[in-house]
Amino acid sequence: MDNAAITALLKQNFGLDPYTSKVLVVGLGNTGISVAHYLQGLNFKFAIIDSRPKPPMMDDFFQKMPDTPVFTGGFDDAAFKVATHLVVSPGVSLNEQAIVKAIANGSKVISDIDLFASSVDTPIVGISGSNGKSTVTTMLGEMAKAAGIQVGLGGNLGTPALDLLALNAHLYVLELSSFQLERTSALNAAAATVLNVSADHLDRHADINEYALEKQRIFKGDGAMIINTDDPIVYEMQAKGRKTITFSITKNADFHLAFRGNTEYLMHNDSCLMPLAELPLEGRHNASNALAALALGVSIGLDEQLMCEALRKFKGLNHRMQRIAEIRGVTWVNDSKATNIGACVAALQGYSRKVILIAGGDAKGADMNELTPAIKEKARSVVVMGKDAEQIKLAINGCVPVYSAENMVQAVNIAADIAENGESVLLSPACASLDQYKNYEDRGEKFANAVLALVKPGASATTSASQRSPVAKRTPLAQGSQG
């Protein structure tokens, strides 16, 4: 689409006019900067505001856009008072007093996803859910590439949506968070899915029902709905009259699992697509992710054989059920991206044998008691750490042994001391990371480093491709206090 067509749509959809509108971009992070470049390219009048005294990206931004008004160190009412439109970054709550007041005074809230959707005339696939959305987004992107399609991949994952416009792609696959969706009204995806809903971000959403309603906004429009029939909340999101494709790992659906003889297959109705054993990912929940990606791909016309070839080559994402090493017969798995209870439960349920679980961090207001049944069923012992470690210990309530650790090195050494040959140690925190780490990636890297430090130079350990180096044993640190 050319700029004139985009500007006309923005005026039609949101009353945005390059001559009369005054846009305030709230948040100077990756999303805010992508919005600034977009608005500048269309000659809109805008300013940026950030509550931090000096956002990390401010110096670089000023070098590229020195004439843009930027307000920092708080949310000044004066800046909001003159704004006709607010583009609020996902990391900023709409309940901020200055934003609430601006909306009450007539300012319109739009999102970067609204701007993006008004700027492309090629298909968009939207993927949301509490868990697995990054994996499914990346899977579908690899499937599209295998089919020879120029695809733009981003949104909540990696590249901000508006920065993808430079690709002029033939297909866009967007991972979308509840925070992005709650302020989005113009998205009409060719295909969309909510993979699952479990308690998450309850520090920003009133309750799980409100959280689910924000997720459901991804289905607005008339595109295909890809529905996980294993999740009761998602199942209820189906809408009459809409094209719907279902997937399940527990029952019959359009895409499901089934045995043919002694071999379990990924199925499309009655057709065997590929043996489940050929999917190179840990955990049964990744079978659900693969079925979701296949359903999305079929809905937009991708070839099933090419999609299966892409799945066979898919090695997963860093920090998402990532196998780090096998040391003295113990497998170490990094699932640091499991920042909520549902992700941890899914990881645990993927194991047929009990594991040693490392968990803890910032629970974000979630009820840790919801973790207890999965721990009782799938964990032999749990090592807890971080801000809300005590909440997890109280929730477990003695059903399995619990050990306390002050930091990741101690947690790994405790786990090494109690793990037995043939077992797995799983870092799947069920909590956010910001109480002790920069982000979940930093937490996962600290875990991997601590695992590899268990062995001395000169001996060997089986490691993931990204961690290949000769390593060997060492004696664990003293065990933490048992709860």
Q: Which has the closest alpha carbon to 225: 140, 122, 327, 295?
A: 295
Q: What is the mean pLDDT of residues 265-286?
A: 93
Region of residue 316 (phi > 0: left; psi between -120 and 50: alpha; otherwise: beta)? left
Backbone angles phi, psi at 303, to 5 degrees: -75, 130
Residue 64 has pLDDT above 80, yes or no: yes
Q: Is 65 exposed, middle or buried (0-12, 13-18, 19+ CB in 10 A)?
A: middle
Which tokens sit at 358?
């490392």
Mapped onto helix, strand or coil, the DSSP state of residue 100 is helix
Give me the residues paired with residue 355 across strands: 379
The tens digit of pLDDT for each residue in 388-407 reads: 999 999 999 999 999 999 99
Q: What is the mean pLDDT of residues 159-167?
A: 97
| 373, 416 contact by CB (below 8 A) | no
The tens digit of pLDDT for each residue in 320-359 reads: 888 899 999 999 999 999 998 988 998 998 888 899 999 9
Residue 472 has pLDDT above 80, yes or no: no
Give me the residues paired with residue 322 across strands: 334
> What residues act catalytically?
133, 156, 201
For residue 25, give every residue at least 6 positions away whose Cβ sits within 8 Å of its Cβ, in sequence order, or none.
32, 35, 36, 39, 46, 47, 48, 49, 87, 89
Backbone angles phi, psi at 385, to 5 degrees: -155, 170
The tens digit of pLDDT for each residue in 417-447 reads: 999 999 999 999 999 999 999 999 999 999 9
Edge-to-edge strands of the sheet including 424-427? Answer: 402-404, 379-384, 355-359, 424-427, 330-334, 322-327, 462-463
What local confidence, expressed as pLDDT, does residue 245 receive? 98
Strands (E), 81-190: 85-88, 108-110, 124-128, 151-155, 171-175
Q: Which has the closest alpha carbon to 373: 407, 341, 409?
A: 341
Which tokens sit at 448?
């991997």
Task: Kindly report the average pLDDT of the chain as a whole number.
Answer: 91
The tens digit of pLDDT for each residue in 102-126 reads: 999 999 999 999 999 999 999 999 9
Residue 482 has pLDDT above 80, yes or no: no
| 339, 362 contact by CB (below 8 A) | no
Which tokens sit at 248?
């399940």
| 203, 366 contact by CB (below 8 A) | no
Give the domains, in start order, of the chain with CATH numbers. Answer: 3-110 (3.40.50.720), 121-313 (3.40.1190.10), 322-467 (3.90.190.20)
Q: Which amino acid is at 266?
A: L
Task: Give the span between the Cα atoms of 257 and 384, in whole angstroms.
Answer: 35
